[in-house]
Structure 1
Amino acid sequence: MTDHETANEPEFEPSEYDMTIRRTFDAPRERVFEAWTDPEQVAQWWGPKGFTVPRCEMDVRPGGSFSIDMEGPDGTIYPDEGVFHEVDEPERLVVTSRAFEDDDGEFQLEVRQTVTFADRDGRTELTLKAEVLTATPEVAEALGGMELGWSQSLDKLEAYVDRSAGGTK
C-alpha cells in the first residue's frame, strides 16, 4: 500500500481497462487502412460523437510520430501524441499514444494500440486491441469511457468510409 492509499481504497489497476473491439466495414481493407493513416482522413472521423479534430499530423512509418488534437463539444482540446511502432500496409498498425499531460510535462496515460485489417471478401474486419501501459488514478474516468469512445469513433469511421466510397447506408 502506498502512502496516499488507505485500507478502504481499492488499488487502481490500469490493465483492467485493456480491451479488444472488432468491427466489420463494408469497404476494402486498403480503403480502411488509408482512412487510418492519412491525416486529412483521420481528422474526419477521429474521436467520440460530438468531437472534432482541428489538428492532425502523422508521419506514418516505424518510429514516426503523430499528434492529434481532439476538440470536445465544450471547446476543450484533448491532445494525443504518440509513435508508430509497426506499419504493415494494409494489414497492421501498432502505435503507442500518450495523453493527459500533467503540470510537470509527464503523461498520465499511455496506451499501446494494435489495429489489424483483415480482408473478408472485399469487406474489412478491423480488430483494435488497446493495452493500457501506464495510467494514473487521475485518468480513471477517461479510461472508463475508452471503450465507448473507441466504439463511437469506429461508428464515425464506418460512416466516413461509406460516404467517401459513395455508399448510401
Structure 2
Amino acid sequence: MTNQTVSKVEGNVLILERVFNAPRELVFQAFSEAEHLKQWWGPRGWTVPVCNIDFRPGGIWHYCMKCEDKNQGDFYGMESWGKGVYKDIVTSEKIGYTDYFSDSEGNVSAEMPVTDVIIQFVEFEGKTKLVNTSTYVSAEALQTVLDMGMEQGINETWDRLEEHLQNV
C-alpha cells in the first residue's frame, strides 16, 4: 500500500487520517452497511461472522470479530465483540458513535475503555480522505487500547478497506 494511515495522539484523543482512492459515497457505504463491513472490518486473519446494524441515530451496531488464522497463535479462535451506538449521521459526510467492548449479548464491558468516535468523509482530489477522531475518557484509557495493538489493527483494517473498495 502506498497510502498509509497518519496517526497522532493529542492527550486523550487519537486522530487517524488516510486517503482512499474511491468516491466518498462508496467509502461511506462501506462503513454503514453490514454486507460491506463483513468484507473488511478487523485486522488480517480475522472475519466478521456477526454484523448487525441499525444505521440511524440511536441505532446499534453489534458485531463479532473472530480470528481464523492459525498462524496467529493464541489469538486463533478468539472472538472479540463490539457494540456501537450511533449518535450523529450525515449521509456521505460524517458518522458519530460511541464504541464499546461487549459480549455476544451486547452487554458492555465495564473494564474496557469506551470511545467516542467521529468519522469524517472528506472529498480530496477526487478521492476520499477519512478522518477518524477517537476520544477517550483519559490519556490512560487511550494508552490501554494502544498497548493492545490498536494502531496495527486499524492499519491492517484500513488496508483491507482499500482492497475492498478496489474490488467493489
- TM-score calculated relative to the size of structure 1: 0.78
Pairing 1:71–2:66 present: yes
Partner of 2:126: 122
Partner of 2:44: 49
Return the alpha-carbon distance in structure 1 between the equivalents of residues 34 and 92 of structure 2. Answer: 16
The 10-residue stretch of structure 1 (120-129 or 22-31) with the greater mean CA deviation from structure 2? 120-129
Contact 1:17 1:143 in 2 (8 A): no
RMSD: 2.4
Residue 133 of structure 1 aligns to a residue whose secondary structure is coil
Structure 2: 5+ residue stretches without partners: 1-9, 70-75
In the TM superposition, what are the counterparts of 1:90-169 in structure 2 within 5 Å?
A: 90-99=92-101, 106-107=109-110, 108-133=112-137, 140=144, 142-144=145-147, 145-164=149-168
- In our comparison, the structure showing a higher alpha carbon Rg is 1
Return the alpha-carbon distance in structure 1 between the equivalents of residues 43 and 12 of structure 2. Answer: 17
Percentage of identical aligned residues: 30
Pairing 1:89–2:91 present: yes
Moved over 6 A (4+): 134-137
Return the alpha-carbon distance in structure 2 between the equivalents of residues 29 and 151 of structure 1. Answer: 19
Contact 1:62 1:86 in 2 (8 A): yes
| Number of aligned residues | 146
Return the alpha-carbon distance in structure 1 between the equivalents of residues 109 and 33 of structure 2. Answer: 28
Structure 1: 5+ residue stretches without partners: 1-14, 165-169
- TM-score calculated relative to the size of structure 2: 0.78
